[in-house]
Amino acid sequence: MKPATLGILLGMLLSAGGLKAQECIACHTKITPNIVQDWRLSKHSANDVECSTCHGDGHTTADDVASLSKEAFDVEWEKMLQTCNQCHSINFARAELEKDDDLIEAGDALLAQAIRVIVELYRDGILEKPNNYTYDFPDLLTFSDAPTPIEHTLFNMHLKHRMRLFQGAFHANPDYALWYGWSEMVQDVTEINTMAEELRNGSRKGWWPFK
Ligand code: HEC
Ligand code: HEC
Ligand code: HEC
């Protein structure tokens, strides 16, 4: 067989396997662009370790996404570890996943710190708690009508920067997780502390457009 013919046959074989991968990427470029970007920059994409290598290809549409309970998540976690173990030692894989967990935990501690600052502003009557909030702490899902800059910063911290930390960590893109996740979160906390201080000493009003 001529090398060229062999090349074409190989190409056909590879593209059959690559079709699923392209589907995941095509849709997730719209749904979770950060993840696709993390993956593209990682050694996994350079080595043809596809989305479906780790996640399987059981889910292929927007409607069949499993929403997992805690127990199911632990099982999935064990399964994920076994998946890593196909190519890495179990110790390396476990250490990597635990490192990711630690980073996320540290991020959540920062988030908790920021929430506490705002809860204290509500408590001390310095910031008015919006009526539609169920609890005495900021509703992290009420992003679009975040009424004050300090709350807006908190929502961004949660929805954007924590998300990037999470996604970058698990998609083997530590630089991205650190620069666009962690360091942004550190900056968010600093800004929130500064704004809280200004609100307390009266040099800042709580409402838009006084930023
Ligand atoms: C037609 C669009 C579409 C395609 C194709 C698609 N996904 Fe998804 N995927 C989604 C949506 C929508 C979500 C939910 C996102 C959310 O809730 O933030 C999702 C969520 C996920 C999640 C998270 C699941 C969870 O429990 O939180 C993973 C992992 C995932 N997709 C992997 C894949 C893989 C691997 C493929 C290819 C085999 C794929 N997706 C193909 C749209 C798609
Ligand atoms: C090397 C293995 C690996 C590869 C390759 C991989 N992922 Fe993941 N992914 C993970 C791990 C680990 C998690 C965190 C645990 C979980 O949610 O299952 C995760 C989480 C996710 C989530 C959930 C994020 C959230 O915010 O809840 C989505 C969505 C996702 N991956 C999509 C993708 C897509 C799309 C690709 C391909 C572009 C991809 N993954 C490639 C390992 C991988
Ligand atoms: C199908 C094989 C395969 C699977 C499955 C896989 N990896 Fe990888 N992984 C690779 C290859 C190949 C490299 C690149 C190795 C290199 O260049 O030294 C890599 C690189 C990495 C790196 C980067 C190491 C570095 O030197 O920067 C990390 C971290 C990593 N993998 C973690 C994981 C985790 C965690 C899982 C499971 C969620 C996983 N991998 C699943 C094949 C795989």
Summarize pLDDT for 145-177 with one digit per residue, the tens: 656 889 889 988 988 899 888 888 888 888 888
**Residue list, ligand 2 pocket, CB within 6 Å:** 24-25, 28, 32, 35-36, 39, 44, 49, 51, 53-55, 76, 80, 166-167, 170-171
What domain count does the chain have? 1
pLDDT confidence bin for 12, thresholds 50/70/90? very low
Please tell me the distance from the alpha carbon of residue 121 to that of residue 137, in angstroms, as a whole number.
10
CA nearest neighbour of 118 among 163, 148, 91: 148
Ligand 1 in reach of 189 Cβ (< 6 A): no
For residue 49, what is the domain's CATH number? 1.20.850.10
Q: Which amino acid is at 93?
A: A
pLDDT at 72: 66
Q: Name 211's Cβ contacts closer than 8 Å, sequence gap at least 6.
A: 149
Q: Is 49 in the pocket of ligand 3 (CB under 6 A)?
A: yes
Find out whether the beta carbon of 70 lies less than 6 Å from any atom of ligand 3: no
Angle ∠(175,151,182) on CA atoms, nearest 5 = 10
- Closest ligand 1 atom to the C-alpha of 52? 35
Average pLDDT, the chain: 79
Domain of residue 196 covers: 4-204
Q: What is the pLDDT of residues 43-58, one digit of tens each?
A: 999 999 999 999 888 7
Within a domain: 58: yes
The answer to the question of residue 126 being in a domain is: yes
Q: Binning pLDDT at 50, 70 and 90, where does residue 70 land? A: low
Distance 20 CA to ligand 3 centre (A): 20
Expressed in angstroms and rounded, the spacing between residue 79 Cα and the centre of ligand 2 is 13
Check: CB of residue 171 under 8 Å from CB of residue 96.
no
What distance in angstroms lies between residue 60's CA and the mean position of ligand 1's atoms? 7
Task: Identify the pLDDT of residue 15.
Answer: 40
Nearest ligand to the CA atom of 21: 1
210 in a domain, yes or no?
no
Tokens representing 153?
């910063």
Q: Is residue 211 part of a domain?
A: no
Using an 8 Å Cβ cutoff, are 137 and 119 in contact?
A: yes
Residue 188: inside a domain: yes
Identify whether the C-beta of residue 158 lies closer than 8 Å to the C-beta of residue 138. no
Q: Does a structural domain hold residue 18?
A: yes
Mean pLDDT confidence for 117-139:
78
- Fill in the DSSP letter of residue 159: I
User: Are 161 and 184 in contact, with CB atoms under 8 Å apart?
Assistant: yes
Please work out whether the CB of residue 86 comes within 6 Å of at least one atom of ligand 3: yes
Of all protein residues, whose CA lies closest to atom 17 belonging to ligand 3? 43
- Residue 170 included in any domain: yes
Is 68 contained in some domain? yes
